[in-house]
Chain A
Amino acid sequence: AQRVTQPEKLLSVFKGAPVELKCNYSYSGSPELFWYVQYSRQRLQLLLRHISRESIKGFTADLNKGETSFHLKKPFAQEEDSAMYYCALRPGNAGNMLTFGGGTRLMVKP
C-alpha cells in the first residue's frame, strides 16, 4: 500500500523568503506525484504534476526516487501563496485513486 507523508502541518515564512514544503512517499512501484493547493474558501486545485516538469506560479517540484521525495519549492514566497498544500500519489495506472498527505498550511507573512 502507498503512503504520503507531509511532516509539517504548518509552515510560516515571511514574504520574499524561500519556501520548501516537504513530501515523502512510500510505494513499491512507479508512482505519479502531484501537488494540490486549496486557497481559503476555494476548491482543491491541481498545482503541479511530476510528469509535466513545469513551473506553476513560481513553484517547482522534483521527484527524487532515491529519497522517495517530491518536495515543493519556491524561491520567493508571496502573500497570495498562503493556502493548504497537499501532496498526492497515484499508482501508475489510469483511474486509480489518489493517496493524499495530511497537508501543510503555508502562511506567508508580510
Chain B
Amino acid sequence: GEEVAQTPKHLVRGEGQKAKLYCAPIKGHSYVFWYQQVLKNEFKFLISFQNENVFDETGMPKERFSAKCLPNSPCSLEIQATKLEDSAVYFCASSQSRGEGYTFGSGTRLTVV
C-alpha cells in the first residue's frame, strides 16, 4: 500500500512489562527507520534498516531495545522491561531511495504506567 502502517495506535504497559510495536513499510521501500518522539516535539533516531539488515543503530538504547525487519513480515520494535521514561510516540518511516523524503506512519503512543 501507499501508507506506512503502524500498529497498535496506542499501547499501555505497566513498568517492567514488554512492549512490541509493528510497522509495515510501503511496498518497494528498502529503508525503514524508527524514531522516538518524547515531549511531543523532539524526535530521536533509534535505528534504520536496509531491507532486513540493520543499517544504523547508533540511536538504540543497547540494553532493552531491539528491532527486526524480516522478509514478508512487518518490522518490529521491542522494548523489554519498559520504564516510565519509555513513554513516547514511536514513529516508523520508510524510504525508497536517495533524494526522497521519508513517508511516516501515524505512530504508536506507548504509555508506561
- In the complex, are the beta carbons of B107 and A46 less than 8 A apart? no
Q: Which of A9, A43, A51, A86 contacts B107 (CB 8 A)?
A: A43
B107 contacts A95, C-beta separation under 8 Å? no
In the assembled complex, how far is the CB of residue A38 from the closest CB belonging to chain B, in whole angstroms? 9
Q: A94-B97, A95-B31, A95-B50 are in contact. Are A43 and B45 (CB under 8 A)?
A: no
- Report whether A44 and B48 are in contact in the complex, using a CB–CB cutoff of 8 Å: no
A54 → B minimal CB distance (Å): 12
Name the prevailing secondary structure of the B interface residues: strand
- Interface size classification for chain A: 20 to 34
Task: Decide: A98 and B103 in contact? CB cutoff 8 A.
Answer: no
**In the complex, A95→B94 CA distance in Å?**
9
Question: In the complex, are the beta carbons of A98 and B45 less than 8 A apart?
Answer: yes
Q: Which residues of B contact A32 (CB under 8 A)?
A: 99
B90, CB-defined interface residue at 8 Å: no
In the assembled complex, which residues on chain A have CB atoms less than 8 Å from the CB atom of B99?
Answer: 32, 49, 51
A72 to B29, CA, bound (A): 28
* A51 CB → nearest B CB, Å: 6
Contacts of B59 in A (CB 8 A): 97
What are some 13 contacts across the A-B interface (CB < 8 A)? Answer: A43-B106, A44-B91, A45-B104, A49-B101, A86-B43, A94-B97, A94-B98, A95-B48, A97-B33, A97-B59, A98-B33, A98-B102, A100-B35
